[in-house]
Amino acid sequence: MKDGLFITFEGADGCGKTTQITLLNEYFNKAGKKTLLTREPGAGILGAKIRELLLNYDGEVSPNCESFLFLADRAQHVEGMIKPALEEGTIVLCDRYTDSTLAYQGYGRELDMERIKYLNNLATSGLKPDLTIVFDVDIETSLSRVGGSKDRMESAGVDFFNRVRRGYLEIAKQEPDRVKIIDSSDTIENVHRKVIELVENL
Ligand code: TYD
């Protein structure tokens, strides 16, 4: 049983979600609410080591190995940080969660979706967000925001990112109550306003 609120931020690299999660965190803090602002991969000490492996390793990584590393990071994150925070009534804002694995490893790397759903469920003990916001922007804009120095995931190519983007839109169609899409080609202020509207509706 959880008392807090669990909100996840999703979208392709360079979609602007990190700016928006910071703004929402400030919004809650100004209202006197306790929050945990966290991210995947890479929260906690073990998470930071897994993140380093995932993003900076320059050898071949099989899609299955990549998936298991993201899932291992998630399992530790849920047990060690997210669940305890929710149990004490904190609002948890998480930059990427299970839908990233569905979009990137499922749609992007074209792994079996049902298997990823099963593994996500195993890694999280079934913990689902109350609200997931997908920040949608065309691939040209998102890759130009990422800029010149790309990590291993960001170097995956335009076709990969088009599949990831389509994947997120598909996920939102499948779970319309939980997953909401915001067009993030709009200004930072307008996108923030839309985020607040979604959160106030919760
Ligand atoms: P990060 O630098 O945190 O990117 P961003 O700021 O866009 O979130 O790198 C995380 C990368 O890992 C990003 O390219 C998405 C990818 N990723 C997956 O492929 N699967 C996952 O399950 C997660 C959590 C992230």
Q: What is the pLDDT of residue 153?
A: 80
The amino acid that residue 88 corresponds to is E
Nearest protein Cα to ligand 1, atom 8: 13
Nearest protein Cα to ligand 1, atom 22: 101
With a 6 Å cutoff on the Cβ, whether 153 touches ligand 1 is yes
Query: Residue 2 pLDDT more than 70?
Result: no
User: Which of 7, 12, 42 is CA-nearest to residue 24?
Assistant: 7
Give the integer Cα–Cα distance in Å for 32 and 98: 28
Q: If you measure from the C-alpha of residue 55 to the centroid of ligand 1, how many angstroms do you get, rounded to a whole number?
A: 8
Q: 3-state SS string over 121-180?
A: HHHHCCCCCCEEEEEECCHHHHHHHHCCCCCCCCCCCHHHHHHHHHHHHHHHHHCCCCEE
Q: Tell me the whole-structure pTM to 2 decimals.
A: 0.95
Q: If you measure from the C-alpha of residue 5 to the centroid of ligand 1, how many angstroms do you get, rounded to a whole number?
A: 22
**150 confidence band (pLDDT: 50, 70, 90):** confident
DSSP H/E element including 94? strand 91-95
Query: Residue 68 pLDDT more than 80?
Result: yes
Query: Residue 1 pLDDT more than 60?
Result: no
* Better pLDDT: 152 or 189: 189
Pair 3, 14: CB distance under 8 Å: no
With a 6 Å cutoff on the Cβ, whether 18 touches ligand 1 is yes
For the residues of 47-61, what is the DSSP string, one character each?
HHHHHHHHHH--S--
Q: If you measure from the C-alpha of residue 140 to the centroid of ligand 1, how many angstroms do you get, rounded to a whole number?
A: 18
User: Which of 127, 132, 137 is CA-nearest to residue 179?
Assistant: 132
Q: What is the pLDDT of residue 187?
A: 94
